Amino acid sequence: MLDRLATEVQAGLHENPDPDAFWPTFATQSSLVLEAAGPEHFDWVSSEVSSILMKHGISVPEA
């Protein structure tokens, strides 16, 4: 699932680099990955999701 998320991030940024369009889609996709991880793997998967973003030079927006 993480590989697929990484591919979708790259494709999504290529298709539409506008952050306002990127974040809602990414939030939905990453939530599915995190939910599938379950509590025992949540921290590791969350770290991997952050690494995917960092690899593409994306910072999580301030809340």
pLDDT for position 29: 93
Residue type, 39: P
Task: Give the pTM.
Answer: 0.84
| DSSP states along 11-57 | HHHHH---HHHHHHHHHHHHHHHHHHH-TTTHHHHHHHHHHHHHHTT
With 70 as the cut, is the pLDDT of residue 63 above it? no
CA distance 10 to 17: 10
- pLDDT tens, residue by residue, 3-58: 999 999 988 888 877 878 888 889 999 999 999 999 999 999 999 999 999 998 88
Q: What is the pLDDT of residue 59?
A: 81
More confident residue, 60 or 27: 27
